[in-house]
Amino acid sequence: MKKILMVAIMAVLTLSIQAQDLSEGQKAKNAGNDAYRNKNYVEAIENWEKYFNSGEEGVTEDTNTQSLYQRSFLYAASDFMKAKNYSKAYDYFKKYREIGGKEAKTDGKITYYMAYCASKMDKNDLALSHFQESIDLEYREDISMLYMAQIYKDAGDDAKMVSTLKTALEKYPKSKEKSKMLSMLTVPMLKEAAEPFNQANELAKAAASGDPNDYLTNMSKAVTKFQEAKPLFEEILKIDPTNSQAKTYIGACDDNINAFNEYKDSLNK
């Protein structure tokens, strides 16, 4: 029993001496390895940087640790994004792309995540740039364009929003995001078409309740507005053939135009 205790004590002393003999760089490396195994990627990065900066022999040839160091930025970024710490996530994705070589720089997924984080931070110009880069790298092109359209919408730039969505629908007609695109696109188009339609309605009401002698003149103005509104609603149906609102408005335009033409024909009989 005493022999066993003596062996155990000697083993502990040996390990203790070995640990004391380690250089500061090696201690930092081991601490980084431990943190990495425990998925504490930020801590692993910090310790490995101490190791790399130690200037000790063999550091530059330690490609395994260098590889783990690079990947840790990616893993840390993912953890920050899950925690909705988008600023930290963006910074770690950016660093990974800077040090990860060609593979990281051309990884559309990383670029897309950077764009998403930038949009969440309201850094819209940066987000637009990264989303476009994601499209160029052929990663999630359709949803990238949808996010770009949303940024334009939030900025009040309906023209760019509409242009972006029309391009997306043309390029990706089978996109799973199609319904969202259509909804975002047709709302401002309906709003635009409704302006001349509502003006036509007001003119028609005024014509019906005004002086009968002025009916033809006033109703002609109303019909002109109905004719202006109709093709705008028809544009919506070209994009979304199932849009019930556009169909209803077109029907109302036709009813008013036809009724007025029939009235004019009756006067000539």
Q: Rg of the Cα trace of the chain? A: 34
Across the chain, what does the average pLDDT equal? Answer: 90
Pairwise CA distance, residues 41 & 47, whole Å: 10
pLDDT at position 18: 47
109-113, 182-186, 251-255: range with lowest mean pLDDT: 182-186
Q: Any idea where the domains of the chain sit in the sequence?
A: 25-52+63-181, 184-267
**Fold classified for 184-267:** Methane Monooxygenase Hydroxylase; Chain G, domain 1 (1.20.58)
pTM score, two decimals?
Answer: 0.77
pLDDT at position 265: 84
pLDDT at position 2: 45
Burial grade of 86 (CB within 10 A; 0-12, 13-18, 19 or more): buried
Pairwise CA distance, residues 241 & 248, whole Å: 12
Domain 25-52+63-181 in this protein, CATH class? mainly alpha
Q: What is the pLDDT of residues 26-58, one digit of tens each?
A: 999 999 999 999 999 999 999 999 999 998 888
Q: What is the pLDDT of residues 62-95, one digit of tens each?
A: 999 999 999 999 999 999 999 999 999 999 999 9
Pairwise CA distance, residues 42 & 230, whole Å: 60
- Per-residue pLDDT at 4 exceeds 70: no
Pairwise CA distance, residues 177 & 172, whole Å: 9
pLDDT at position 250: 97
pLDDT at position 181: 95
Q: What is the pLDDT of residues 213-248, one digit of tens each?
A: 788 888 999 999 999 999 999 999 998 999 999 999
CA-based max dimension of the chain: 129
> Which whole number is the average pLDDT over 119-131?
98
pLDDT at position 269: 67
> Hey, how many other C-beta atoms are within 10 angstroms of the C-beta on 165?
27
